[in-house]
Structure 1
Amino acid sequence: MDLPLILEPSELQAVLGQADLLILDLGKSDTYQQAHVPGAISVAPGDIQLGIKPAPGLLPTQQQLSILFSRLGLTQDTHVVVYDDDGGPWAGRMIWVLDSIGHKNYSFLNGGIHSWLAEQRPIESQANTATATEYKVAAIDESVSITQAQLLTAIEAESVQIWDARSHKEYTGEKAVSKRGGHLPGAVSYEFSIALDSDNHLKLRDLEVIRKELAAIGINGEQTLVSHCQTHRRSGLTYVIAKALGWPMQAYAGSWAQWGNDPDTPIETGE
């Protein structure tokens, strides 16, 4: 199945019901119960997080991921379409999870359920379950992620560009969700929601406009790009955007929950 990374609702509707298509809804359960894309299976966002403090956003274990994707009926030939009800951060995180397990056949539904409903595409309300498989995550592709220790080394070497997807108040340290507020040395602020078009049902804004806005603050893909937020939810969307722009990207899944709660990590505050 040859589908683009950023998938429009019309393109998804055209392939509904095809074999080897797996649609995953990462939105809230009550939204799913009211209306979802036909055939979509609800996935709780907690299923794609390790969930252990101080860094709950780390990747689940290989065993946990094997159990999850077996339950979802994943096979090597499956094309996965992901969406949520918040503009795409959870869906984007799932793209990163799929990259981490080496499954590269996937698409991101532009605008998620909001654009789907706005375009009056077909919906259903009954819950769906998959035919289970025996999917084994044999290895984790660590190239799509960066650890705290690796990031410390990269910051010292000035070998990465860092995209902080949190709110600007979190970035400056005015708002602190962890023990310490502020941002990683050298990081630049571009809140994930800036990339969404609130006048067009939370679809992504024009990617070339986003590219220019990021270039203006020093993010241009000439070095490996690292993105984070508090728990690698919001930066799930920035992960997808970087992939759509063709930039090398690594997720810092530990995010500020890990960095800001470590008394020994270097931080900067203010602009």
Structure 2
Amino acid sequence: MSRFIPKGLVAVLLAFVAAMAEAAPVLVDDAWVAARLDDPNVVLVDMSDPTQYLRFHLPGAVHLPYDAIVKKPPAARFPTRLSDAELAALLGNVGIARDRHVVLYDDMGGLNAARLFWELERIGHPKVSVLDGGLVTWVLNGRRVVNEPVTRAPTTYTLDGPGRDNEATLAEVRSAAEGHSPLLLDVRSDEEYAGSPREPRSGHVPGAKLWSWDRALDLPRGFARRPPAALQPTLESLGVKKDRPVITYCRSGHRAAQTYLTLRSLGYDKVKVYANSMNEYAAHADAPLKKGREP
């Protein structure tokens, strides 16, 4: 017996299949990048320290320092992210258009690259990836580097509709602290999590689980991400599951974005970053904090 499939459903299915076929991998390795150094549709973005970029970088990589993607207005107590319009202008100024596959890297285990990865997913950039291990792995594997600065012709970066819902608010974090979903993941150090008796506004958000961001890195392999089999059991033991929303936080959103990248690379989709993190949370005198090593 023949089966009838409505044309509308066929169109939706075809669009879904096409999107899946074109989806960019969250992490790419050095061989993947090396094979695409001459691809005009791929834009390499180096987010290492400016001095390091001048020493050497990947062929064709433009430089975009971390400080360029955060701002601290004169009256602000802490740095915040750029507005969507400011981010779009910055991307256009360094020659990044929305139709390009952006591949980010740094020399810090993905700390800087992860922050821009999170931002680009937030504004719905279609294709963005991070070089696993970044510059360190690239060099350890004997890949070619150059020291001439690279510039691209400025362009217009067009914002096009909503992106991924991946930014948590203070209200969401406070709700989670009261025992509601989602799960809070504190990715700072043990000492920061435990807090100091000499600092009244220190410690962690009540209920938050500790998972330091650098647990994801395989240092002997050049700061590459550790294999999923080494990461997922520890995450699952903390209650991090693929069907459960998670909010990552640190002090400024820097390390939290790196853990966001780790979770996204492992297939977790319900992840948000509390971008202002403890800089904002601890500044609210009525926001509860807990000291010690227990959630």
The TM-score, its normalising length taken from structure 1, stands at 0.93
Deviations 1:185-215 (A, max 9, x none): 1111111111111111111111221111111
CA displacement at 1:51 relative to structure 2: 2.7
- Amino acid across the alignment from 2:43: L
Q: Percent identity?
A: 28
Aligned to 2:48: 27
The answer to whether 1:237 aligns with 2:264 is no
Find the aligned partners of 1:202 and 1:264 in 2 and give their Cα distance. 39
Unaligned stretches of 5+ residues in structure 1: none
Give secondary structure in 2 for the equivalent of 1:184. Answer: coil
- Residue 257 to residue 194, structure 1, CA distance change in 2 (3 Å): same
Matched, 1:105 2:134: no
Task: State which structure, 1 or 2, has the greater radius of gyration over its C-alpha atoms.
Answer: 2
CA contact under 8 A between 1:226 and 1:250: conserved in structure 2? Answer: yes
Q: Is the 8 A contact 2:124 2:164 kept in 1?
A: no
SS in 1 for 2:191: helix
- Tell me the amino acid that sits aligned with residue 140 of structure 2: A
Q: 2:86 aligns with which of 35, 54, 64?
A: 64
2:36 aligns to what?
Answer: 15
Shift in Å, 1:50: 2.9
State how far apart, in whole Å, the 1-side matches of 2:164 and 2:23 are.
Answer: 26
What is residue 192 of structure 1 aligned with on the other side?
A: 213
2:26 aligned partner: 5
Question: Aligned residue for 1:162?
Answer: 184
2 CA distance for matches of 1:34 and 1:88? Answer: 19
Q: For 1:81-230, what aligned pairs fall within 5 Å after superposition? A: 81-137=103-159, 141=163, 143-156=165-178, 158-174=180-196, 180-230=201-251
- SS of aligned partner of 1:243: helix
Looking at structure 1, the residues matched to 36 and 280 of structure 2 have their Cα atoms a distance apart, in angstroms, of 41
What is the alpha-carbon distance in structure 2 between the residues aligned to residue 106 and residue 63 of structure 1? 19
Secondary structure, aligned partner of 2:184: strand
Q: SS at the partner of 1:144?
A: coil
What residue is the counterpart of 2:283 in the other structure? 261
Aligned residues: CA RMSD: 1.9
How far is the alpha carbon of 1:165 from its aligned partner?
1.0
Instruction: Identify if the C-alpha distance between structure 1 residues 38 and 179 changes in structure 2 by more than 3 Å, giving closer, same or farther.
Output: farther
Q: Offset of 1:221 from its aligned partner? A: 3.0
Matches within 5 A, 1:41-60: 41-52=62-73, 53-56=76-79, 58-60=80-82
Q: TM-score w.r.t. structure 2 length? A: 0.86
Report the number of matched residues. Answer: 269
